[in-house]
Amino acid sequence: KSLDEIERNKIGIVRQYKRIFAGKPFAIVDNYDWFKDMGYLQFLREVGKHVPMRQMLQREFVQARLGGEGKGISYAEFSYALIQGYDFLHLSRKHGTSLQVCGSDQWGNSIAGVELIRRITGQEAHVWSAPLVINKATGKKFGKTEDGAVWLDPALTSPTQFYQFWINCDDEGVEYYLKIYTLLHRAEIDDIAVKHRANPKYRHAQTRLAQEVTRIVHGDEDMQAAELVTKCLTGNMSIAEANDKVMAIMRTELPHVAVRVGDELANVLVSTGLAESKTVARRLLADNAIAINNQKTIKPLLEKSDFQNNRLLIRKGKAFKDSALVELA
């Protein structure tokens, strides 16, 4: 990445930290500040000579990458443990940091810092690692490299898309996610789980999960707007009741067209991208796969009664993401 891209990413990450940890005492530091003036020979002298090669080669991820089925490892990636280790050493010296928190996949890099601090300063340091979060329905980890990953940056995943990711979580894992991603007390989570198990179809647990996580990441106002958009898309609120903010979100995030009463529905499906052609559109209608305001329809033309406050939502199949906003011109 270019330096400009890195700088933009850093600004975005700082913004996220400040929102999520608002009101908490914390300091944000940038390891570029202590690495930018350090030369390669200085790094080898201050760090490299304290790290045994045997220790690095015995790390599980290194063994896996160097084994017969492994894809190999670059020198830069191999050296990353030294960089992360020095970060811990620097924070220990400058800020008295004695604990590093990491995911279990970063255990090797994190423990390198513990060893470096012990060898150079003789002081103790510790690592607290947590297992990677796994989607219990798919067996895949939650992570930025996975398909369908969500981002904290609203420019990459809007608050509405973020909310809908959580409300669509599987029944099997929702209680687990409530414990990890929300600040709810254990007793309240237990109550939510009991209600959810009694009537899973109402998705009570998923709704609370979506509310709590979206509130933490995007704030209460954006959470409420995302919730209203979702209620419209799921038929739990009439599109006629949508306020200006909800309508602005839908016009931005959904395919959006202006029509007249009497327009052919097949043309509307094509213009919104819900159908590739009029032939496909007519087949979808004949197969009862199209819903207007969450009511299935097979009629060919739009009627005045289809509109609520001069607008309607049209959906293909059962996927709420395959929805479009239609308004009277």
* Per-residue pLDDT in tens (0 to 9) along the chain, 329 residues: 788 999 999 999 999 999 999 889 999 999 999 999 999 999 999 999 998 888 888 887 788 888 777 788 888 888 888 999 999 999 999 999 999 999 998 888 899 999 999 999 999 999 999 999 988 878 888 766 666 678 999 989 999 999 999 999 989 999 999 999 999 999 999 999 999 999 999 999 999 999 999 999 999 999 999 999 999 998 899 999 999 999 999 999 999 999 999 999 999 999 999 999 999 999 999 999 999 999 999 999 999 999 999 999 999 977 777 999 999 98
3-class SS of residue 256? strand
CA–CA separation, 286 and 299 (whole Å): 9
* pLDDT for the residue numbered 138: 81
CB 133 within 8 A of CB 142: yes
**Alpha helices by DSSP H, the chain:** 3-20, 32-35, 40-46, 53-57, 60-66, 75-95, 107-121, 159-167, 174-181, 186-198, 204-218, 220-234, 244-253, 265-271, 278-286
The residue count for the chain: 329
Q: Model confidence over 179-192: pLDDT tens digits?
A: 999 999 999 999 99
* pLDDT for the residue numbered 30: 95
* pLDDT for the residue numbered 145: 61
* pLDDT for the residue numbered 241: 94
* pLDDT for the residue numbered 35: 94
CA–CA separation, 52 and 50 (whole Å): 7
* pLDDT for the residue numbered 194: 96
Contacts with 233 (C-beta within 8 Å, 6 or more apart), sequence order: 313, 315, 320, 323
Mode of pairing for the β-strands spanning 311-316 and 290-292: antiparallel
Handedness of CA 297, 328, 275, 248 (dihedral sign): negative
3-class SS of residue 88? helix
Contacts with 301 (C-beta within 8 Å, 6 or more apart), sequence order: 262, 263, 264, 265
CA–CA separation, 320 and 314 (whole Å): 10
CA–CA separation, 3 and 91 (whole Å): 24
